Amino acid sequence: MPLTAQVLIPLALPKAFSYAIPENMSVTEGAYVQVSIGNKPYIGVVWRIENTGNTVDTEEQTTKKYTLKPIEKALKTPPMHKTQRMFIDWVARYTISYPGMVLKMAMGMKDLFKPAKPIEVYQLKNNATKIRLTPARTHVIDYLKAHHRADMATLLTQTQASISVIRGLVKAEILEKTQADLDSTAPAGMRHSLHSSTLATLDDAQQRAASTIIVAMDSQSFSPLLLDGVTGSGKTEVFFAAIAHILAQEKGQALILLPEIALTTQMIDRIRKRFGFEPTQWHSGLTPTTRRKNWHAIAQGHARLVIGARSALFLPFQDLKLVVVDEEHDSSYKQEEGVIYHARDMAVMYASLLKIPIVLASATPALETMLNVKDGKYQHMILPARYGGATMPHIHVIDMRKSGLNKQQWISPKLQEAIGSAMSAGNQSLLFINRRGYAPLMLCRNCGYRFACKSCSSWLVAHKSDRKLHCHHCGYHELLPKECPECASEEDFAACGPGVERIAEEVAARMPEATIQLLTSDHLTTPAKTEEALERITSGKVDVIVGTQLIAKGHHFPKLTLVGVIDADLGLAGGDLRAAERTFQLLHQVSGRAGREQQQGHVYLQSYIPDNAVIQALQKGDRDAFLYAEEQSRQFTQSPPFIRYTALVISGKEELAVKRAASQVGVWLKEALEADILGPVPAAMALLKGKYRYRLLVKSARHAKIHAKLLQLHQHAQKFRGIDIRIDVDPHSFM
């Protein structure tokens, strides 16, 4: 009976294409198959199989069937899970993208299906009776009992045995060396030997939370759970306990999403300590070979515990039992390019399709999340205090209007004094300013000329490290010229305002006895450099750390007792929807770095608006009052999450064409949608990377059905030559 397959291809095409399934080929829905478009081969996924045999065909259909190209090859990779296909369709609909673009995130990496070269693997041959069992040998043998086989590199990292131990076992004929495909090194369905794991003994609140997750997993139902507790309250230990429950079974996979790659190293260390093995990673920092290996290990169900950045959500899980979104409030979960999506929100949807629990962990949950708790949609699990009796830091606000600072200085006398006393007590201080470089603006003292980026609406930021001016939006950089481009006066420039490098310079000038460590992405350019810097800090060689938001997250420095926030007001300017919320979250998180062990921590917030609600809430430690005020204000102004925003950015190289297209789109939107349409107006970043930008904002009811209509815009975009239309549902960026 003739069967037709609808094959979705990872390209920006409006729909799946039909292909004939050859009689001798067995293909199921979800199978990865090779087909061609024109003469070009692609790997796609069988989205649906339709039986076209038993209907009476019109002549047209018959012709079509005859001309249908066949599927060329079915791959051996296990088929994509049905729920994942539903999820991809759902994400496409929600984000107003073509499903092929979402599929591309799930499999769009180069050479994913290139046959891997066979590699040498080790497996058990004989019972280890004739040989003395040292701890190292036992580790290797136990590991191979659990994982069947592994290559040398895996054995070395997972068991910490040396090469000679493994060679010795081969010589004693306990192990044997064979050849295997890279993606089939272990059979699926393996109980993890957890004998080497040392799970924490949970306290009462932690235990209650862990049981809630485990009960939800066992009942196989969708349960969104907010794990709410200050930094250090043991949230990680709680979801570890739930993961241990999965690992103790024959099969089942768990996924931990982290907002940033920088955090994975620490998480991997903790997992290795707790579970005795390394989780499977997924992020942009991996080599293509590792990515390919990990992707296949997940598709085969061998990878039981996966940690990764937001894109890990689209990995080919076979049997996902739990998703954890750590630091769920973090704005890096929002992907701003290609398919624009929020990984936390998509993860919640995925969990609901899979009927599994999802744990959102945070000390400062997003307003959206708290409202879902309030509406009874999410269950609230609270860890009330730091584990082991460590107390929360004292928060002091320094009123900068009365600080008595000299010009070109940013560290108030009070803060300097506090750094001094921390140093004499042998403790460390951290100065935080969320601005890279030396100074955010350079100008000519003679004529007032300001250095600006030619491709973006932004000033060039002076950097001391490479003596260059940088655009933080497009990456452009130039050496600071000798003469002013406007008036030609020589070397008469003024650096305005502080960046992180300038604060470090100020510390060095005012406290020459202090050892300083800069922590910014411009200085920690390689993992080795990062590790070295962190090592210097933890081993106590550093007195003052000066850093950007890179340091706000995750790090645990035992001797750090003081945090100084140079400009607590910085994030409040610009006034987008979430400015207050984000500032609160960031400063709370930075503050949490202070006094994580026995000693009392102190935080100094330097502010010119000390009466501001955010600063007040931080000082009083009253998160919930702050969230309540935020909720009231959003409700009063009818903003998200009470209504839905969809932002459109129309961009292109010719300003007039962009403006015209934007106004046509505006007219079209007003006719097509039952919603308020704001704009078009030039975007805040009216020029970005050489492209002019206009914005429109669609304000609609939360559940208004506007997605199908908006999808048509992608076809409209093709009418406008050289114009790009970017659609951002639930925007976080308003630039």
Given the rule CB under 5 A, which residues bind Zn ion?
A: 444, 446-447, 449, 453, 455-456, 471, 473-474, 476, 484, 486-487
Task: Please give the residues from 79 up to 138 whose contact with ligand ADP meets the rule CB under 6 A.
Answer: none
Q: Whole-number minimum distance, CB 662 to Zn ion, in Å?
A: 21
Residue 626 interacting with ligand ADP (CB under 6 A): no
Selection from Zn ion, ligand ADP, none that 661 binds (CB < 5 to 8 A by kind) is none
- Residue 257 tokens, joined: 């999403």
Q: Quick one: CA dihedral 273, 278, 280, 284, positive or negative? A: positive
When the beta carbons of 240 and 277 are compared against ligand ADP, the nearer one is: 240
Place of tokens 């790997």: 43
Under the binding rule (CB under 6 A), the answer on residue 200 touching ligand ADP is: yes
Min dist. Cβ of residue 528 to Zn ion (A):
29
232 is a site residue for ligand ADP (CB under 6 A): yes
Among 234, 316, 498, 666, which residue sits at the site for ligand ADP (rule: CB under 6 A)? 234
486 binds, among ligand ADP, Zn ion, none (CB under 5 to 8 A by kind): Zn ion
Q: Which does 202 bind (CB under 5 to 8 A by kind): Zn ion, ligand ADP, none?
A: ligand ADP
Per-residue binding letters, 481-520, with ligand ADP (x by CB under 6 A): ----------------------------------------
Residue where the block lists tokens 């397959």: 5
What, of Zn ion, ligand ADP, none, does residue 212 touch, CB below 5 to 8 Å by kind?
A: none
Do residues 453 and 404 lie in contact, with contact meaning Cβ atoms separated by under 8 Å?
Answer: no
How open is the CA angle 703-704-708, to the nearest 5 degrees?
A: 115
Where in 428-492 does DSSP place strands (E)?
Answer: 428-432, 441-444, 461-463, 468-470, 477-479
Q: How does strand 320-326 pair with strand 253-257?
A: parallel
Name the E strands within 11-157. 17-20, 32-37, 40-51, 73-74, 119-124, 149-151
Q: Is 10 in the site for ligand ADP (CB under 6 A)?
A: no
> Could you say which of 237, 328, 569, 581 contacts ligand ADP (CB under 6 A)?
237
Instruction: Verify binding: residue 259, ligand ADP, rule CB under 6 A.
Output: no
Q: Does 523 bind ligand ADP (CB under 6 A)?
A: no
Given 95, 154, 236, 364, the residue binding ligand ADP (CB under 6 A): 236
d(C-alpha 474, C-alpha 468), whole Å:
15
SS3 557: coil
Residue 381 Cβ, how far from ligand ADP at the closest point, in Å?
Answer: 12
> Per CB under 6 A, does 601 bind ligand ADP?
no
Cβ at position 723, least distance to Zn ion in Å: 20
Q: Which does residue 449 bind out of ligand ADP, Zn ion, none, counting CB within 5 to 8 angstroms by kind?
A: Zn ion
Q: Which is nearer to Zn ion, 415 or 453 (CB)?
A: 453
Interaction residues for ligand ADP, span 351-390 (CB under 6 A): 387
Provide, rounded to whole angstroms, the least separation between the CB of residue 273 and ligand ADP: 9
By CB under 6 A, name the one of 54, 58, 127, 201 that touches ligand ADP. Answer: 201
Please list, in sequence order, all residues whose beta carbon lies within 8 angstroms of the beta carbon of residue 587, skipping any fewer than 6 positions away: 565, 568, 605, 614, 618
Q: Are 122 and 149 in contact (CB under 8 A)?
A: yes
Instruction: Give the nearer residue to ligand ADP in terms of CB position, either 269 or 486.
Output: 269
Stretch touching ligand ADP by CB under 6 A, among 234-242, 373-381, 400-408, 471-479:
234-242
Angle 367-374/623-636 helices, nearest 10 degrees?
90
The answer to whether 165 touches 196, Cβ cutoff 8 Å, is no
Count the neighbouring beta carbons within 10 Å of the beta carbon of residue 162.
Answer: 11
CA distance 16 to 99: 8
Query: Longest C-alpha distance within the chain, in Å?
Result: 91
Provide, rounded to whole angstroms, the least separation between the CB of residue 557 and ligand ADP: 12
CB 472 to ligand ADP: min, Å: 30
- Can residue 228 be called a binding residue for ligand ADP (CB under 6 A)? no
Q: Residue 319: exposed, middle, or buried by beta-carbon count in 10 A (0-12, 13-18, 19+)?
A: middle
How buried is 23 (Cβ within 10 angstroms: 0-12 exposed, 13-18 middle, 19+ buried)?
Answer: exposed
Name which of Zn ion, ligand ADP, none residue 235 binds, using a CB cut-off of 5 to 8 Å depending on partner kind: ligand ADP
Q: Which range of residues in 71-79, 199-207, 413-421, 438-446 is near ligand ADP by CB under 6 A?
A: 199-207
Shortest spacing between CB 237 and ligand ADP, in angstroms: 4
Backbone phi, then psi, for 612, in 5-degree steps? -55, 145
Q: Looking at 63-71, 201-209, 218-226, 435-443, which segment touches ligand ADP (CB under 6 A)?
A: 201-209
- Where do we find the tokens 């692609």? 42
* Residue 229 interacting partner from ligand ADP, Zn ion, none (CB closer than 5 to 8 Å by kind): ligand ADP
Q: How wide is the angle at C-alpha 46 spanned by C-alphas 71 and 58, nearest 5°?
A: 70
CB of 32 within 8 A of CB of 80?
A: yes
Among ligand ADP, Zn ion, none, what binds residue 387 when CB lies within 5 to 8 Å by partner kind? ligand ADP
The site partner of 720 among Zn ion, ligand ADP, none (C-beta below 5 to 8 Å per kind) is none
CB of 689 to Zn ion, least distance (A): 6
DSSP string of 560-611, one letter each residue? EEEEEES-TTGGGTT--TTHHHHHHHHHHHHHTTS--SSSPPEEEEEES-TT
Q: Residues interacting with ligand ADP, by CB under 6 A?
A: 200-203, 206, 229, 231-237, 387
